[in-house]
Amino acid sequence: MNTATLPIELPELTQDDLTRYSRHLILPEVGVEGQRKLKAARVLCVGAGGLGSPLALYLAAAGVGTLGLVDFDVVDASNLQRQIIHFTADIGRKKLDSAEEKLKALNPALNVVKHETMLSSANALDILKDYDIVADGTDNFPTRYLVNDACVLLGKPNAYGSIFRFEGQASVFAAKDGPCYRCLYPEPPPPGLVPSCAEGGVLGILPGLIGVIQATEAIKLILGIGEPLIGRLLLVDALKLRFRELKLRKNPDCPVCGTHPTVTKLIDYEQFCGIRPETKEEQAVKNGVPQLSVKELKRRMDAGENLFILDVREPFEYQIANIGGKLIPQNEVPQRLAEIDRDREIIVQCKSGNRSQRIAEFLKQSGYPKVANVSGGILAWSDQVDPSVPKY
């Protein structure tokens, strides 16, 4: 009932298959027929990162015949703490190439389909249509809603997982008669309300836990066994190692899967999530705060200009890397204004430019006449000015 559409003609198992999957074959719930279903199955992993790594590895090991991967990123050193499909030697390589290599090494019979693109309203239906099940391991709200809507429109179940710090969520959305992501969250939070993983951090094992739950659900859906996480939201708290379950209901008024849907084709998801591309003018000035590139900052420092560089990160971050600015963590700035010289130009800097932008706006409101934000923060400094400054 909840199984994905599979070809009626299931492929035969080879002698190698019989040996490799013997521990599956002796399970009555899987057996030869189940293993043939796995061999025929086509699963799309959206994202080859934290969630996608364990998900793809386990599906490949289990004998899923075709795995599609959507990603356009390259491997960065800061990925390796959790994205276990990528190794140290892969830094700088395309994630798709790195993942394909590991998956084929694990299971040479696997058919890997690489989609080197950012999933968008223009390409999502075309990419998803060739798969039976979608496993959403993306890292941002617009893509979450895009994957959901595309799954509902195409009738493909979505093994969903998401993580933040020590906490994870998992469910199966868009299954026949089951609720979808929009039934749970009709609207996205305003941008900036939920901190990103780069700012909020994530425990490295957490995507392992949640990604394996997504893989479990995908395999159960293929085999048609057990009770999939349809209509249930699993909450995982890694610190307490507590699993809780909440009931999810299909919302009859859901705009995409309800009885009278108003979303009948894919929309502009960045606009839906309150995000729009930057214009040229906004790149130069954001909310009244001039944006300074790291190269321009370096030039002005070298020219000996009288700049007050204010670093608003936390002390432990400053210890890892700094460019010699005055350290006042963002939450202490309102109480420590006396230490910030009103007569000089204040250049606010943080890790990637978000916290410093907020503080720069605050300083302007507090009457500082000349304030600028370092666009891209110390990460950009390390990339474009001084690679010896460590990235974290």
Cα Rg of the chain (Å, integer): 24
Single out the residue of 34, 49, 68, 255 in contact with other proteins (rule: CB under 8 A).
49
For the chain, the distance separating the N- and C-terminal CA atoms, rounded to the nearest angstrom, is 47
Single out the residue of 65, 68, 142, 178 in contact with other proteins (rule: CB under 8 A).
142
3-state secondary structure of 391: coil
Which range of residues in 148-156, 221-229, 303-311, 331-339 is near other proteins by CB under 8 A?
A: 331-339
Q: Does 155 bind other proteins (CB under 8 A)?
A: no
User: How many angstroms separate the CA atoms of 364 and 349, rounded?
Assistant: 15
Helix or strand (DSSP H, E) at 285: strand 285-286
- Residue nearer to other proteins on the CB measure, 237 or 296: 237
Helix or strand (DSSP H, E) at 41: none
| CB 139, min distance to other proteins, A | 2
Q: Does 123 bind other proteins (CB under 8 A)?
A: no
Q: Does 82 bind other proteins (CB under 8 A)?
A: no
Name the DSSP letter for residue 66: E
Asked if 69 and 41 touch (Cβ cutoff 8 Å), the reply is no
User: How many angstroms separate the CA atoms of 312 and 355, rounded?
Assistant: 7
Q: Does 261 bind other proteins (CB under 8 A)?
A: no
* Cβ within 8 Å of residue 353, ≥6 positions away: 373, 374, 375, 376, 377, 380
Which tokens is 225 given? 């066994």
Q: Does 178 bind other proteins (CB under 8 A)?
A: no
Single out the residue of 7, 92, 155, 195 in contact with other proteins (rule: CB under 8 A).
195
Which tokens is 212 given? 């394996």
Q: Does 185 bind other proteins (CB under 8 A)?
A: yes
Q: Does 278 bind other proteins (CB under 8 A)?
A: yes
Which range of residues in 48-56, 83-91, 222-230, 298-306 is near other proteins by CB under 8 A?
A: 48-56
Q: Which residues pair with 136 in a beta bridge?
A: 46, 160
Strands (E), 132-177: 133-136, 158-164, 167-173
Asked if 109 and 16 touch (Cβ cutoff 8 Å), the reply is yes
3-state secondary structure of 89: helix
Single out the residue of 60, 127, 359, 378 in contact with other proteins (rule: CB under 8 A).
359
- Residue nearer to other proteins on the CB measure, 97 or 167: 167
User: How many angstroms separate the CA atoms of 348 and 27, rounded?
Assistant: 61
Q: Does 213 bind other proteins (CB under 8 A)?
A: no
Single out the residue of 7, 204, 288, 334 in contact with other proteins (rule: CB under 8 A).
334
Count of residues that bind other proteins according to CB under 8 A: 67
Which tokens is 166 given? 């020590």
| CB 284, min distance to other proteins, A | 12
Size (the chain), residues: 392
| CB 2, min distance to other proteins, A | 21
Single out the residue of 138, 214, 216, 373 in contact with other proteins (rule: CB under 8 A).
138
Single out the residue of 277, 304, 315, 324 in contact with other proteins (rule: CB under 8 A).
277
Q: Does 139 bind other proteins (CB under 8 A)?
A: yes
* Catalytic annotation present for 350: yes
Single out the residue of 186, 369, 387, 390 in contact with other proteins (rule: CB under 8 A).
186
Which candidate, 205, 72, 229, 261, places its Cα nearest to that of 135?
Answer: 229
3-state secondary structure of 212: helix
Here the contacts of 86-90 (C-beta below 8 Å, separation 24 or greater) are: 86/53
- Residue nearer to other proteins on the CB measure, 38 or 180: 180
Single out the residue of 32, 120, 164, 370 in contact with other proteins (rule: CB under 8 A).
164
Which range of residues in 15-23, 121-129, 241-249, 298-306 is near other proteins by CB under 8 A?
A: 241-249
List contacts with other proteins (CB under 8 A). 49-51, 73, 118, 137-142, 144, 161-167, 169, 184-200, 207, 233, 235, 237, 244-249, 270, 274-278, 282, 286, 330-331, 333-334, 352, 354, 358-359, 361-362, 376, 379
List residues with catalytic annotation: 197, 350
